[in-house]
Amino acid sequence: MKDFDKLLNTLKDSILTYDYFVDFKKAFKNVDEINYNLNILNHLLGHPNFDEAFRMMYTKNPDVISVIPILLATRDKKFEITENKKVFYDFENLTNPVDYLTFIRKTGLIEIFYDHRIKNLVDYVTGVEVGLDSNSRKNRSGVAMNNIVYGFLKSVPEIEILKETNPTKVFNQWGITLNIRNKVFDFVVKDSSNHIFLIETNYYKASGSKLNETAKSYILLNQEINKSNKAKFMWITDGKGWLSVKNDLKSAYNSIEYLYNISDLENGILKNIFNKK
């Protein structure tokens, strides 16, 4: 029996794991890739004649220019600045060194080179990379939810699991045509009875307008999939963010036959669904 109140009352406060915080391997790898150029720039730290030293460095090692944006904590390489007129800066296709000197001064980046508190740009950029990586934490909740669901799917015997799969890949893998839009699903499962389940997962710790949009879009997606008669839609979601829009979640719960949370998975719901004759 479906029980919406039970689903609502068992939403998780957190699915936090230790790898939520910072991907240090990724941060260090990013720094290692530009380590050489950063060390060349180190020679400009505290230089008494910065402009002349910069031009000389540019002449000998023009590729050094490419690492300037990361000093401002951005991965972008092209910028359009609006002042009295629009000014373009390109850190991939080299232009005049005077342009870059203007950019360094007007962004305030020059303070890094004048202020003797910064001794090494490799260490500085390592801190920048850690900061940029932490900005992706919102996405990590989705990744964590995906991993949790995958763990439960793997515990079910006699099913085949495809990750990040669209209907085209389903046809290539199993020869089954799904008459639905060519959307990428988090998982596609085929059980021993050749039932196909198209699965989406997400986790919402906080409220927001996106939850309302997600619920509505998945109701429509479920209707579309049901028309194909060759697959079923399964939505596995969690997080206390749903409490602020519980009516939207309830509408989806009443419309989507296979809508579950982590607690349902913990109670073995998947083993009751897959492999039924």
What is the per-residue DSSP string for 91-153?
Answer: SSS---HHHHHHHHHHTTTHHHHH-TT---HHHHHHHHHHHHHHTTHHHHHHHHHHHHHHHHH
Predicted pLDDT of residue 93: 85
Q: What would the pLDDT profile of 61-81 be if each residue is shown by its tens digit?
A: 999 999 999 999 999 999 999
Q: How confident is the model at residue 95 (pLDDT cuts 50, 70, 90)?
A: confident
Element (H, E) at 222: helix 209-228
Task: For residues 69 and 88, state if they share a domain.
Answer: yes
Q: Is residue 31 part of a domain?
A: yes
Structure tokens at 57: 């460095």
Element (H, E) at 241: none
pTM of the model: 0.71
Number of domains the chain contains? 2
Q: Looking at the predicted structure, is the pLDDT value of residue 227 above 70?
A: yes
- Residues 259 and 273 sit within 8 Å (Cβ to Cβ): no
Average pLDDT taken over every residue of the chain: 93
Query: How far is the CA of 124 from the CAs of 18, 104, 109, 113, 131, in angstroms?
Result: 24, 16, 13, 12, 11
Q: Looking at the predicted structure, is the pLDDT value of residue 24 above 90?
A: yes
Q: Is residue 1 part of a domain?
A: no
Task: For residues 154 and 248, state if they share a domain.
Answer: yes
Task: For residues 147 and 256, state if they share a domain.
Answer: yes
- Comparing 193 with 83, the larger pLDDT belongs to 193
Q: Is residue 3 part of a domain?
A: no
Q: How confident is the model at residue 219 (pLDDT cuts 50, 70, 90)?
A: very high
- Comparing 116 with 242, the larger pLDDT belongs to 242
Q: Is residue 258 part of a domain?
A: yes
State which amino acid sits at residue 93. Answer: N
